[in-house]
Structure 1
Amino acid sequence: MFRLPVIDRIGRPFARFVKADQGNIAVIFAIVLVPILSFMGAAVDYSRAVRARSSMQAALDSTVLMLSKDLTAGTISTSEINAKATAYFTGLFTDTEAQGVSVTPIYTAASGSTPATIVLNGSGNIKSDFMQIAGFPTLNFNATSTTTWGNVKMRVALALDNTGSMASDGKITALRNAVAGTGGLIDQLSALSKTNGDVYISVIPFAKVVNLGASNYTQSYLDWTDWLNPPTTQPDNGSYQASLPINWHAYGPGAKCPFSNSSGGFYCTTGPTSTSSTSTIPSSGSYSGYICPSVDANSHALYNGCWTSEAAGTGVFCSGSGSCACPKDAWNNAISGCSCSGSGSSKSCTGNLYVHNWTQPGPNDTTHNTSQPRVSAVVGWTNNKYTSTNTTPTVLNDYRLASTNPISNWTGCVADRTQPNDATGVLPTSSDVTTLFPANEYFENSTAYCSSSASTTLGAVLPLSYDWTTLKSTVNAMQPTGGTNQAVGLAWAWQSLLVGGPLNTPAEDANVTYNRVIILLSDGLNTEDRWPEYGNGSSQASGNPIDARQALMCSNLKAAKDSKGQNMYTIYTIQVNTGSPADPTSTVLQNCASSSDKFFMLTSSSQIVTTFNTIGTALSKLRLAR
């Protein structure tokens, strides 16, 4: 605010006049009239000056923001600040009564933890109408505006849908252009960076899983439990949980395969991790007697071992009854290798017995995976038999040879973490397996999507980077792959922003303010995750528990606060809904956004580009401190 000195000069005599009690009325009235008219005139002139100053303040505020944006983007150099300030201000300041107007910018470059600053000072005056009689022909006014930047840095995580449906309606192409094309989001954000590290971006392509890259198989943050265990000990899948057949102890080389897709989600193959099916257990070759499960049709995961058939002598399956018979397989056929003798109460059926160990490391294995969890799965029954009084498997795995598929063959897939940490950002620690990330061999539509040799590969995540060329290459290499699990993409976007996490996120400076942003785009509703009971790609459990877990994660993200008590993350969500009939609005995506204006419902591929441009513009403004 500014002060008019005339107020003091007129006010003091007027105060003395109020106390006087002599003189006639006419004289008094004449004397009083002059200051009263002066005060009224001063109020008029004062309001004109205030109006002019307010207009100047608004013009200065806009000018200083545009100057800082131009400097940040490299549109102007520091030597052009004065001329540009005058040009911007002249176009914005519209008060016609102001005269003698001038603006003076003062630019201070960033240094260390000290931010860059522009202070813009403005001054001017108006010609007075009434105050001239009091000796004030003009009224001066001034204003100032400041913008600071450079102490605010930005970290943006892009969780981008790479599922099969992105191939339709040009969506994957539009997404590549929106993010990595000329003038796309990467270009917009890179323009805000004057120094390496001012802006970081991570890219998280996701389908049912994310790909961390096969070279990371030695990392301590990985959980190898699912990889090592047989189908019967995979995560609790409810009705999809595989079980051992009743006559398990009688199956051996030449017997019919005891599994089918209808009974466990898988069938038998000719060897470990093979895609060649077989109707009988091999009786010759390297894998004679091996009972190898195929890809699970429910979980879309490849198993990395087989059950052996180790001869355990012969045994009596039943005796003492005329109804005694050889065990039958799942197709109601007598298992080979069994024969019966006698009749009536003297009848007895005997045959070969087998021990079935799973060909991943047991407690005594020292050949492979010596620093990894041991398989403790149940693989048979007490005394290797099933009876009417002994129906619970109790024999633990004890395999002592080399693994049939060691962890070094992992192609990079990881699935959702074990609950409750599938919905948290807790950092991994070896002392708590629920904080580790489950290695997985995702296999759907006859494709191992994380394999570099796949016809369509789910690209590996790219941690925070300011290598704009690599970022663009990563986005442009994205391909449509498998089913939709937004939660795993969101989880890794979160991990990419956490210092001390598995993606080697750069350290943060306590003296710097960070804008941490997550952008999650998906073109469909969630269909599958680590638990087939939740969703197996074709059907979902009632209430869609995939969405429920994701909603909990969103709630945890939005509740996270920084050291100043401010929201730690800004979340944008985008639903691309081009199908016919269209999907319903994703409630979990809509509610996950930080605010209603940060959720976007798109009905055409062309809107992907404009939406990312809108978000980029918003982030450009967010980059400025004030």
Structure 2
Amino acid sequence: MTALPRRFRRREDGSLTIFSLFLFILLLMISGMAVDMVMHERQRVHMQNTLDSAILAAGSLDSGATTEAEMTAMVNDYVAKAGIDPSRITVTPRITGSSSRTISATGRFEIDTIFMGLMGINEMHGGVGGAAEVGEEKVEIVLVLDVSGSMGRDGKIEALRPAAKDFVTEIISKLGADRVSFSVVPYNHQVHVDDDLRSRLDWDDALRTVLPADVAPYPGAITTYAQFNPSSRCARFREADFRNVALTDTARIEGSAMFSGLSGRNLTAYASYPVWAGWCSDSYSRVLLYQNNETDLHNYIDTLQGEGWTSIDYGMNWG
């Protein structure tokens, strides 16, 4: 009788069965946790995608929602149709301008676990959130307008003025005056710069030598001349100046001379020269910079006249 207990104590038959049972229970718990976590992630993705779509729809300028309350109602209606309780969603809308708005929303959810309840975890909680901002960036617009002599014929300048004013009005009404800035560059044979713009640029005022250094001038000869004329409103561009996209305040700009454009004509008196014949004279419209007042822009455009020759390359380079 004593030999049987000793044999039973020494035998190892069936020991793996007990280990396998514990291992099976452990694998069952891990698999159950995976199932519960997949259910949690599926609910999170569903709520996140629904909330993102609702935010984008309510934040759109074409949504029809014109008040913050309407934006909130649109989000709540969107999530309700997706089977989500709107009371679990918190919406924060903000209309910041006629063409700009922001909206954010957060949501919370929970699911009942299936297998994790064996470990005392009966619920899993989660949250989602999103935000959207809609609006145009501040816009700078440059109108490069031909005001040469040909525009003064056949009603061209008369057609240009209302077209330019209508464009200004349309842009300001769409974007708002606080989000847009206009500059106007009228050009004919030159572009006439205003004092503000000229003060920002490095205008070349150096003296230029007329004769080569190794040539002796005759008595009384003019050997140097001033490159910069304080009365000149124009720049003289060289070939290299047209290779750069923008003018900078570090590049030196060569001033253009002021003279009559009617050289060679048989005019007996200076007084008989027409106003438009002056090269870089004060009679031409100057560049208008950084304006967003609709009335001021309209008044300026109404002063444009068609006079002088045409240099499209100068107009585009300044524009």
Indicate the TM-score class for this superposition, using the shorter chain for normalisation: 0.5 to 0.7
Alignment of 1:99 with 2:50, yes or no, is no
Aligned to 1:46: 41
Q: What code does the residue aligned with 1:176 have?
A: A
The 3-state SS of whatever aligns with 1:157 is strand
2:188 to 195, 207, 213: 207
Alignment of 1:143 with 2:129, yes or no, is yes
Preserved CA contact (<8 Å) 1:415 1:440:
no
1:159 to 121, 130, 144: 144
Alignment of 1:437 with 2:255, yes or no, is yes
Q: What code does the residue aligned with 1:121 have?
A: A
Equivalents in 2 of 1:215, 1:60: separation in Å?
Answer: 46
Equivalents in 2 of 1:162, 1:395: separation in Å?
Answer: 45
Preserved CA contact (<8 Å) 2:104 2:131:
yes
Residue 213 of structure 1: how far off its partner (Å): 5.9
Which one has a larger percent strand, Structure 1 or Structure 2?
2
Aligned to 1:176: 164
Q: 1:201 to 1:376 in 2, by over 3 A?
A: same
Q: 1:107 to 1:99 in 2, by over 3 A?
A: same
Aligned to 2:266: none
Q: 1:488 to 1:162 in 2, by over 3 A?
A: same
Q: What code does the residue aligned with 1:49 have?
A: R
Aligned to 2:249: 427
Q: 1:449 to 1:97 in 2, by over 3 A?
A: farther
Equivalents in 2 of 1:427, 1:442: separation in Å?
Answer: 30
Equivalents in 1 of 2:89, 2:277: separation in Å?
Answer: 63
Aligned to 2:267: none
Q: What code does the residue aligned with 2:45 have?
A: V
Equivalents in 1 of 2:260, 2:311: separation in Å?
Answer: 13
Equivalents in 1 of 2:85, 2:202: separation in Å?
Answer: 68
2:106 to 97, 122, 125: 122
Preserved CA contact (<8 Å) 2:108 2:126:
yes
Equivalents in 1 of 2:207, 2:56: separation in Å?
Answer: 61
Preserved CA contact (<8 Å) 1:204 1:492:
yes
Equivalents in 2 of 1:374, 1:99: separation in Å?
Answer: 81
Aligned to 1:461: 287
The 3-state SS of whatever aligns with 1:103 is strand
Residue 473 of structure 1: how far off its partner (Å): 2.3
Deviations 1:527-583 (A, max 9, x none): xxxxxxxxxxxxxxxxxxxxxxxxxxxxxxxxxxxxxxxxxxxxxxxxxxxxxxxxx
Residue 87 of structure 1: how far off its partner (Å): 3.9
Alignment of 1:55 with 2:50, yes or no, is yes
Residue 209 of structure 1: how far off its partner (Å): 1.3
Aligned to 1:414: 234
Aligned to 1:23: 18
**How many corresponding residue pairs?**
269
Q: 1:219 to 1:439 in 2, by over 3 A?
A: farther
Deviations 1:565-613 (A, max 9, x none): xxxxxxxxxxxxxxxxxxxxxxxxxxxxxxxxxxxxxxxxxxxxxxxxx
Preserved CA contact (<8 Å) 2:201 2:248:
no
Equivalents in 2 of 1:49, 1:218: separation in Å?
Answer: 60
Preserved CA contact (<8 Å) 1:55 1:94:
no
The 3-state SS of whatever aligns with 1:98 is coil
Equivalents in 1 of 2:116, 2:22: separation in Å?
Answer: 24
Q: 1:145 to 1:212 in 2, by over 3 A?
A: same
Preserved CA contact (<8 Å) 2:186 2:285:
yes
Equivalents in 1 of 2:138, 2:312: separation in Å?
Answer: 27
Q: 1:426 to 1:42 in 2, by over 3 A?
A: closer
Alignment of 1:488 with 2:310, yes or no, is no
Deviations 1:388-407 (A, max 9, x none): xxxxxx869859xxxxxxx8
Equivalents in 1 of 2:201, 2:116: separation in Å?
Answer: 83
Deviations 1:393-447 (A, max 9, x none): x869859xxxxxxx89x7x762533454465524379xxxx62331445859x97
Q: 1:214 to 1:124 in 2, by over 3 A?
A: closer
Equivalents in 1 of 2:127, 2:32: separation in Å?
Answer: 23
Residue 99 of structure 1: how far off its partner (Å): 1.9
Equivalents in 1 of 2:49, 2:286: separation in Å?
Answer: 54
Equivalents in 2 of 1:413, 1:95: separation in Å?
Answer: 66
Preserved CA contact (<8 Å) 1:45 1:130:
no
Q: What code does the residue aligned with 1:436 have?
A: E
TM-score (norm 2): 0.56
Equivalents in 1 of 2:157, 2:183: separation in Å?
Answer: 26
Equivalents in 2 of 1:59, 1:188: separation in Å?
Answer: 25
Equivalents in 1 of 2:140, 2:298: separation in Å?
Answer: 16
The 3-state SS of whatever aligns with 1:469 is helix
Q: What code does the residue aligned with 2:38 have?
A: A
Preserved CA contact (<8 Å) 1:156 1:202:
yes
Preserved CA contact (<8 Å) 1:42 1:131:
no
Q: 1:25 to 1:185 in 2, by over 3 A?
A: same
The 3-state SS of whatever aligns with 2:130 is strand
Aligned to 1:227: none
Preserved CA contact (<8 Å) 2:276 2:307:
yes
Preserved CA contact (<8 Å) 2:200 2:249:
no
- Look at both structures and tell me which one has the larger radius of gyration over its CA atoms: 2
Unpaired segments ≥5 residues, structure 1: 1-19, 110-115, 225-371, 378-393, 400-406, 494-626
Which one has a larger percent helix, Structure 1 or Structure 2?
2
Equivalents in 1 of 2:182, 2:292: separation in Å?
Answer: 7
RMSD of equivalent CA atoms: 5.7
Residue 143 of structure 1: how far off its partner (Å): 0.4
Residue 50 of structure 1: how far off its partner (Å): 0.9
Equivalents in 2 of 1:442, 1:39: separation in Å?
Answer: 89
TM-score (norm 1): 0.32
Residue 462 of structure 1: how far off its partner (Å): 0.7
Q: What code does the residue aligned with 2:285 have?
A: G
Preserved CA contact (<8 Å) 1:125 1:141:
yes
Alignment of 1:36 with 2:21, yes or no, is no
Aligned to 2:299: 473
